[in-house]
Amino acid sequence: MSKIIQLAVCVAAFTLVGSLANAQAVLSVDPTTQTTSTGNIVTVDVNISNVSDLYGYQFDLAFNPSVLQAISSSEGPFLATGGSTFFIPGTNDNLGGTVFATADTLLTAVSGVSGSGELAVFTFDAVGPGTSAVTIQNETLLDSALNFISDTATGGSVSVKSSTIAAPEIDPASATSALTLLLGGLAVVCGRRERLARSHAR
């Protein structure tokens, strides 16, 4: 086998492996992990990568309702790069912990979009301390021929700390200054006591 043929075989093999590796779109929660405090608003993006000819999608987003409460969801910019869209924000189930049936579709007989980007943005209220997994479930991706697009989905988590007993924030510089002041104060107090003791002894 000549070197040229060997090279061609290698290229073909890499291409095949690459195409197999690229066959599945990936849905993901972004950021994967984040921390906030109760009472704060937190946003979670659902992104997609490595997709070809995406025409429409639907999924549920599950969360721990004792930690997070869903407020709203909005359309991300990715699908709309292909044309006009029709977005259904989904239904918030804050008892069961699901944003149910969020969906988006392109309109008219256009091609789907390819690549990576943001599908939807979800806003939650951090209502309780703890960690909530944020999981993409029941996802369906359709191409422009309305065939299914295979995918994998990865979730994320949101950690919420209690804000009612939060310790004051101290930076090193401030801590050094405070310690100096404290020690200085103690020295002054001790000095006074020593002087008073001496004066009483007189």
Partner 1 sequence: MVASAGANAGIATTQALESQGWFDTFTITSSTPSIPKGTAVTLNITVTYSGKIFLTTSGLSNVYMQFLDYNSGTSPVPLQIAAPGISLSSLDGTTTTSATLQVHTGDVVQLGARMNTQVLAAVGGFLNSEASIGAADSLLPLSNPDFTFTVNIDPIQPCISYTTASQTTYFSGLSPLPCSGPPTCAQIVAKPAVETATGFGETPTTDIPEGALPIEIGAQFKPNFGYTLKQAAAICGFDHFNFQQVVTGYSGALPATCASQHPTVPTLDPPPSGWEYQGCDNSYPYYYGQLDLASGPIPSSCPLPATGSGDPSVVQSDSALTFCDGPVNPGITSGVDSFWTALVGVNAAGQPVGAPTPNNATLTPLWVMTWTDSFNGMAAGGIMGPFLSGIFSAPPPDPTTGTGGIVILNSGAPLVGDVNGDGVVNCADLAVVKASFGKKLGQAGFDPRADVNFDGVVNIIDLSTVARALPAGSVCD
**Residues near partner 1, by CB under 8 A:** 55-58, 84, 86, 88, 90-91, 100-101, 103, 105-109, 140, 142, 144, 146
| Nearest distance, CB of residue 131 and partner 1, angstroms | 28
Q: Which residues contact 43 (CB under 8 A, 6 or more apart)?
A: 121, 122, 123, 124
Q: Pick between residue 74 and residue 131 the one whose CB is nearest to partner 1.
A: 74
One-letter amino acid at 68 equals: L
| Nearest distance, CB of residue 56 and partner 1, angstroms | 4
Residue 102's CB: how many other CB atoms inside 10 A?
24
Question: 25 forms bridges with which residues in the sheet?
Answer: 151
Q: Pick between residue 41 and residue 107 the one whose CB is nearest to partner 1.
A: 107
| Nearest distance, CB of residue 100 and partner 1, angstroms | 6
Give the tokens for residue 113: 């979009």
| Nearest distance, CB of residue 106 and partner 1, angstroms | 7
Contact yes or no for 83/92 (Cβ under 8 A): no
| Nearest distance, CB of residue 133 and partner 1, angstroms | 22
Q: Pick between residue 52 and residue 159 the one whose CB is nearest to partner 1.
A: 52
User: What stretches of 3-90 adopt beta strand conformation (E)?
Assistant: 25-30, 33-37, 41-62, 68-75, 85-88
Q: Pick between residue 40 and residue 60 the one whose CB is nearest to partner 1.
A: 60
Contact yes or no for 157/126 (Cβ under 8 A): no
Q: Pick between residue 56 and residue 117 the one whose CB is nearest to partner 1.
A: 56
